[in-house]
Each structure stands twice: as C-alpha cells, then as structure tokens.
Amino acid sequence: MAKTKEQKEKIVKQFTTELTTAKSLLFVDYYGLNVGEVDEFRKLLKEKACKYIVGKKTLLKRSLDNAGLKNIDIDSMQGGLGVVFGKDDEMAPAKVVSQFVKKHKQMKIHGGVFNTEFIDANTVKILAELPSQQELRAQVVGVIKAPVSNLVHVLGGNIRSLVQVLSAIGK
C-alpha cells in the first residue's frame, strides 16, 4: 500500500531529527538477513545506545538534504539501505556493525558519516578496530603512572636491601 504525502513527510521529519542528533551513522545493506537476524542486530545496537532504521532511499535522501549532508550519494548504494545511528558514542555503530558483519556475511557496510564527512566501508572497518575512549584513557593513565610507580619501586628496593642487611647482621 502506497504511503500518503503526510506519512512520507512524517518519515522525512523523523529521519532528519535522527540525522541531526546522531554523533555518527552508518549505511548498511541488510538484504539476505532473516527476521531473527535483524532482531538480533537491533538488540545488539540497543545495548550500545544505537538505533537502526530502514527506509526508502528517496525519503532518506531528502532527509540528508534537510540535515545538511548533501555530499552523500545514496543512489550508488546497492541493495536495501538501513541506517545505524550512534547516539552516545561515535565508535559504537562501527564496532557493533563490524562484529555483526563477521558473523553474518549477508550484511554489507556501504559507508558512514563521521564528523559530517562521508567515510567508505574500509574506513569504517579501521575505526571499528580502534580502542574505545575509555580504553584510550586507561592507556594514557598507565603511561603517566608508570614512571612514578617505577620510582617508588626503586626507592623501596633500597629500603628492602637495608632491612635485609640489618636482619642478616642481627642473626
């Protein structure tokens, strides 16, 4: 059944809202997945505060224009077009989709938008392999902490040696 003009405008408005509030987004081809696999995919995305929407390319193209992302060529993307929106973490969509694609070869990554710039599928895969923001912070703290803890260990070694010498003299 064909959608009315009002329904299409509502869909475009929803897409535009999602596009303007998302920190990053990915375009995927979902053809070949069954309903159970799509539900599994949505569940994985929901755990990472991501959203997945499927829509007609013409309506999505109109929404991209409304959101100011006119440099994205949706017409060149083959198959069914699903869009994954990252709300909290910019890297979460890339990580979840890349993990899902490894298990389900039918899904393909077309590319995405990161900092309002279009990135291709290879760049998405590279971004997915990067550590998360928390992991990077932990690594920085470890690098900062290492010299201090090494100094404490060295200074403690002198005291331990002195105690060992004194206890040997006492025996």
Give the domain CATH number at 120. 3.30.70.1730
Do 17 and 90 share a domain, yes or no? yes
Do 103 and 52 share a domain, yes or no? yes
Do 110 and 171 share a domain, yes or no? no
Q: Among 27, 43, 47, which Cα is nearest to 35's?
A: 43
Which pLDDT value is given to residue 69?
79
Query: Dihedral, CA atoms, 70, 50, 33, 61, nearest 10 degrees?
Result: -10
Over 80: is that where the pLDDT of 104 sits? yes
Res. 1 pLDDT band, cuts 50 70 90? low
Q: Among 71, 62, 60, 65, which Cα is nearest to 27's?
A: 60
Phi, psi angles (nearest 5°) of residue 67: -85, -5
3 state SS of 102: helix
Which pLDDT value is given to residue 95?
87
Over 70: is that where the pLDDT of 81 sits? yes
In sequence order, the 6+-apart residues with CB closer than 8 A to the CB of 14 are 53
Do 47 and 99 share a domain, yes or no? yes
Over 80: is that where the pLDDT of 33 sits? yes
In sequence order, the 6+-apart residues with CB closer than 8 A to the CB of 111 are 26, 27, 77, 118, 119, 120, 121, 123, 124
Do 96 and 108 share a domain, yes or no? yes
Do 105 and 140 share a domain, yes or no? no
3 state SS of 120: strand
Do 84 and 139 share a domain, yes or no? no
Over 80: is that where the pLDDT of 133 sits? no
Tally the domains of the chain: 2
For 62, 153, 166, the CA distances from 157, given in Å and listed in that order, are 69, 6, 14
How much is the average pLDDT of 118-137?
Answer: 84
Do 42 and 111 share a domain, yes or no? yes
Range of the domain at 126: 5-130
How much is the average pLDDT of 103-128?
Answer: 85
